[in-house]
A = this chain, B = another copy of it.
Amino acid sequence: MTDKKENILHAALELFAKDGYNATPTSKIAKQAGVSEGLIFRHFGNKKGLLQALIEDAETRMGELLAPVIFESDPKMVIRKIITLPFSIDRSEYDFWKLQFKIKWEEEYNNPNKMKPLIDKLAWAFSELGFDGPEEEALLLNQIIDSISISILRDGVEPQASFQSFLLEKYNV
C-alpha cells in the first residue's frame, strides 16, 4: 500500500469517527490527507468504497482482538478476558473502534451476526460455570461490554475504571 493511500485511510477514519460518514465531505478527507480529491476515487472507487475498506480492515482487527477470548479454554478466563477487553484498548485506536459503533447506526452496513461466535463462546462459558439461562447471560454480558466500550470511547477509560473490578467481582472471575 502506498503512503498516500494510507494517508487517505487515516484521514477518513479520523473524520468519519468524529463527524460521521454522511457529514464528512471527500474534499475534507483529501485536504487532511494531503492529497488531491481525485486520488480518493482512484484508490477506492467512490466514497462508500472508502468506508468499505475501513470496515473490512476493522473486521480483521476485531477478529484479532477477540481471538484470545474465543480460543480460551478456561470458562472463568473467558469471562474475565471479555470484561477486561474494553479497558485495554489503546487510546491511539479509539477512532478505529468509534467508527465501528457509529456504523451500527448507519443501517445498511450493520451485520448483527458478526458477534455470534463471541456470544456462543460466552454462552458456553456460563453453561460450564453452572449459570441458569446461559444464553441470556451471554447476551446480557455482550451488551454490557458494548455499552461500556461506548462509554470508554466517548469519555476515556478513567470515569469507567471502577467498573472493571466491579464486574470481575460480580461475575466472580
Contacts and interface: CB of A to CB of B under 8 A. Distances in A.
Interface stretch (A50-58, A74-82, A119-127, A145-153): A145-153
One complex includes copies of this chain to the number of 4
Interface residues of A, number: 26
Contacts of A140: 144, 163, 166-167
Given A22-B22, A140-B144, A143-B144, A133 B166 contact: yes
A72 interface: no
B143 A147 contact: yes
A163 B144 contact: no
Interface string A140-173: 1001101110010011000000110011000000
Contact of A146 (B102, B136, B147, B166): B147
For the complex of A and B, the 3 pairs showing the least CB-CB separation, nearest first, are: A143-B147, A22-B22, A136-B166
